[in-house]
Amino acid sequence: MAVTAATTSSRRVRSLVSSPRERVRLFVVYGVMGIVTLILAFPFYYLATSAFKPTAELFEYPPTLFPRSFTLDHFPLAFQAAPFPRMLLNTLVICSLTVTGAAISNSLAAFAIARLRFPFRTLIFGCMLITLMIPGWISLVPGYVFWRDLGRTTLNLFGVNIGVNTIGPLVIPAFLTSAYSTFLMRQYFMTIPKELEEAARIDGASYFRIYWRIFLPLSFPVLAVICLGAFMASWNDLLGPLIYLSKPENQTVTVGLSYLNTQHMGVIYRGARFSAALMAAVPILTLYAFTNKYLIRGIVLGGLK
Amino acid sequence: MSTPASRKRGGWFGWWRSPSRREEVLTGWLFVLPAVIGFVLFMYLNFRGVQLSFTDWSWISRRPPDFVGLNNYSLLLRPESDFLKSMVRTLIYVVFVPVSITIAFSIALLANQAVKGQTFFRVVCYLPAVTGAGVLVIVWTYLFSVDGPVNFVLRGIGIDPPRWTTVTEWKQVALLLLIAWGAAPGMIISLAGLQAIPKDYYDAAKVDGAGAWRTLVNITIPLMTPTLFFQLVLGIIGAWQTFDIIYFWATPGTGLQDANLWTASVQIYQYAFAQNRPGLGAAAAIVLGLVILVFTVMNFVAQRRWVIYDIA
């Protein structure tokens, strides 16, 4: 199979290449694609190499394209400025909880809105879509007041703070759905044939069972996009941790990067800054390396940014 | 939609009598409960936001907020106010949105060519969207530093490089270059739009002997206008709220502090937290929200002039 496909496609390419017009087109297309790839990829190459160049080499002019020497000295220096290993762990915890919340809450709501008939369904869906038009900045100050007061209340009543200075304000909202993700899932659920669930109903399956055994497995392409999107948004979130978390040991890596900028302006910190940026970038780029297939295919499918 | 059906079976509470319908309704309400709680909370916060925008207080003081009427708004809308200046500055990013869309569209045209290696190309194009602003700004600061690679290339082609990291205007240009670079992932949306165009149109154009340029102008671009409009609306809403890269690039404490680069949202953050004037910050957020609303409405009004939904 694979062999046949390869030979036909190479034969097609050869026959295309044979036309001089086509050869020019291929040359131009590959040329421009090459330049675009170079421009997009170079900052990552520059980051990955600079994090391991000794300070002396970092200040060389012209800048060395291929590093001559290798050092790990910048990482301890970065750890002095901010507890990055701890911060990476914090970020991972927050991201995992956010993804869990987004996956559960959005798929349940979307299933109900797409498939179940109940009073106020359309109204509830309409209300969710309205929230998309209100910028989050309006709830910045009242949000802080709310989580501060809620945290004090839960501390007094139950002895647990879930408000300011905990991950509560960053994680709990993910369990309360996001209108965009629910909308995307609802659109996808609408395309699943009704016969499947009708057969299951006749067999006596509960609605939760239908959701769990039929809709959730079938929704993998869109669920993957929502989970990956939630993970990346949470990993790169700046404003949330910036205002709701205050102690360095509770902070996320994204905010940690700004710690390094605060008092560390000296020459020796150039490499430390690169190494910190590398630590913040590698986990999310690794995830992307393994999942880009689902992410990109899913976005093209659903038109999600 | 659901109410008439349930009424037919015996009024508002008809569903309660049939066990199967009762299960459906109760399950439905249970499943959307988190969404309803989220909606109520969000709306409550927005109403509180309006309320707090008429008050003056500080995070430290234990006194309840003083009601000051429209005072915050008159402070914000004075000709010399920092916020007004930051709004004008944010307009730069709003005006830049069509440039970003053009970049995304051009890259999508490339990614739609029938050549090998497209999967890899798309993966590379989406990279900027995966990387956080903090990482990008650190790399950008050094790419554009006096002894950095960008200046090396510029000197190589005989251009005397500007001071990217010290002069406000050039810092602004470097930021816009970062935004242009970060526009590449938008190609995924454009590509989805391009692939939704029926092949028949291109076949017909070929039969009529239209060249590549005429096909692009007369078929591809008109058929892409709904996608371009979608990108424009979302792009402008997002551009008004530009925050992360400016925070990392220009707030006190970070690398190149420069209040002349602050956008509206950075100014709101500064009012609300760094300057401890949450009432003023809340009012500024309301103004920003209203401006975004006006721009969105304007977009929807203007679309009638250029968006083509029905080509046949």
Q: What pLDDT does residue B2 have? A: 47
Whether residues B177 and B114 fall in one domain: yes
Whether residues B143 and B14 fall in one domain: no
User: Quick check: is B289 in a domain?
Assistant: yes
For the cut 90, the answer to whether the pLDDT of residue B263 exceeds it is yes
Q: What is the ipTM of this complex?
A: 0.90
pLDDT mean over B258-274: 93
- Domain extent, residue B109, equals 79-306
Per-residue pLDDT band for B305 (boundaries 50, 70, 90) equals: very high
For the cut 60, the answer to whether the pLDDT of residue B215 exceeds it is yes
Chain B residue nearest residue A183, CA to CA: B35
For the cut 50, the answer to whether the pLDDT of residue B181 exceeds it is yes
Per-residue pLDDT band for B15 (boundaries 50, 70, 90) equals: confident
Whether residues B204 and B94 fall in one domain: yes
Whether residues B228 and B186 fall in one domain: yes
Chain A residue nearest residue B184, CA to CA: A40
Average pLDDT, chain B: 91
User: Quick check: is B99 in a domain?
Assistant: yes
Asked whether B236 and B94 are in contact (CB, 8 A), the reply is yes
Q: What pLDDT does residue B310 have? A: 72
Q: What pLDDT does residue A1 have? A: 34
Q: Which residues of B touch A121 (CB under 8 A)?
A: 1-2, 28, 32
User: Quick check: is B189 in a domain?
Assistant: yes
Q: What pLDDT does residue A224 have? A: 94
pLDDT mean over B4-17: 66
Number of domains making up chain B: 2
Q: What pLDDT does residue A262 have? A: 55
Which of B15, B31, B118 is most worth mutating to test chain A (most A CB atoms within 10 A of its CB)?
A: B31
Q: What pLDDT does residue B19 have? A: 84
pLDDT mean over B269-282: 95
Q: How far apart are CA B113 and CA B121, in angstroms?
A: 11
pLDDT tens, B122-172?
Answer: 999 999 999 999 999 999 989 998 889 999 999 999 999 999 988 899 999
Q: What pLDDT does residue B251 have? A: 72
Whether residues B177 and B262 fall in one domain: yes
Q: What pLDDT does residue A6 have? A: 43
Whether residues B87 and B13 fall in one domain: no
Q: Which residues of B touch A146 (CB under 8 A)?
A: 41, 44-45, 48
The two most distant CA atoms of chain A are separated, in Å, by 79
3-state DSSP assignment of residue B56: strand
Whether residues B253 and B146 fall in one domain: yes
Whether residues B45 and B83 fall in one domain: no
Chain B residue nearest residue A265, CA to CA: B255
User: Quick check: is B243 in a domain?
Assistant: yes
User: Quick check: is B234 in a domain?
Assistant: yes
pLDDT mean over B287-299: 97
Q: What pLDDT does residue B61 have? A: 83
- Contact check, Cβ <8 Å, B131/A295: no
Q: How far apart are CA A113 and CA A116, in angstroms?
A: 6
- Please tell me the total number of residues recorded for chain A in this structure: 305
pLDDT tens, B71-99?
Answer: 999 999 999 999 999 999 999 999 999 99
| CATH code where residue B112 lies | 1.10.3720.10
For the cut 60, the answer to whether the pLDDT of residue B283 exceeds it is yes
Whether residues B83 and B39 fall in one domain: no
- Contact check, Cβ <8 Å, A119/B130: no
B82 CA to chain A: closest CA distance, Å?
Answer: 17
Q: Which residues of A touch B133 (CB under 8 A)?
A: 236, 238
- Contact check, Cβ <8 Å, A280/B240: no
**Domains defined along chain A, listed by start:** 2-72 (no CATH), 75-302 (1.10.3720.10)
Residue among B36, B45, B241 minimizing CB distance to A139: B45
pLDDT mean over B38-62: 95
A177 CA to chain B: closest CA distance, Å?
Answer: 5
- Contact check, Cβ <8 Å, B247/A258: yes
User: Quick check: is B31 in a domain?
Assistant: yes
Locate tokens 């005429």: which residue?
Answer: B214
Per-residue pLDDT band for B4 (boundaries 50, 70, 90) equals: low
Whether residues B217 and B284 fall in one domain: yes
Chain B residue nearest residue A13, CA to CA: B115
Chain A residue nearest residue B181, CA to CA: A40
Whether residues B34 and B110 fall in one domain: no
Whether residues B48 and B113 fall in one domain: no
Q: Which residues of A touch B129 (CB under 8 A)?
A: 232
pLDDT mean over B263-273: 95
How many Cα atoms are found within 13 Å in the side-chain-facing hemisphere of A270? 20
Q: How far apart are CA B136 and CA B182, in angstroms?
A: 9
- Contact check, Cβ <8 Å, A238/B134: yes
Which is nearest to A174 in space by CA: B253, B207, B37, B190? B37
For the cut 50, the answer to whether the pLDDT of residue B6 exceeds it is no
- Contact check, Cβ <8 Å, B181/A43: yes
Low-confidence ranges of chain A (pLDDT < 70): 1-18, 261-266, 302-305
Q: How far apart are CA A287 and CA A294, in angstroms?
A: 11
DSSP secondary structure string for all residues of B218-277? IIIHHHHHHHHHHHHHHHHHHHHT--HHHHHHHSTTSTT--GGG--HHHHHHIIIIIT--
| Pure H helices in chain A | 2-17, 20-50, 55-58, 74-81, 84-115, 121-131, 140-158, 168-171, 179-190, 194-202, 207-210, 216-218, 220-236, 239-244, 253-263, 269-302
- Contact check, Cβ <8 Å, A33/B195: no
Q: What pLDDT does residue B165 have? A: 84
For the cut 90, the answer to whether the pLDDT of residue B13 exceeds it is no
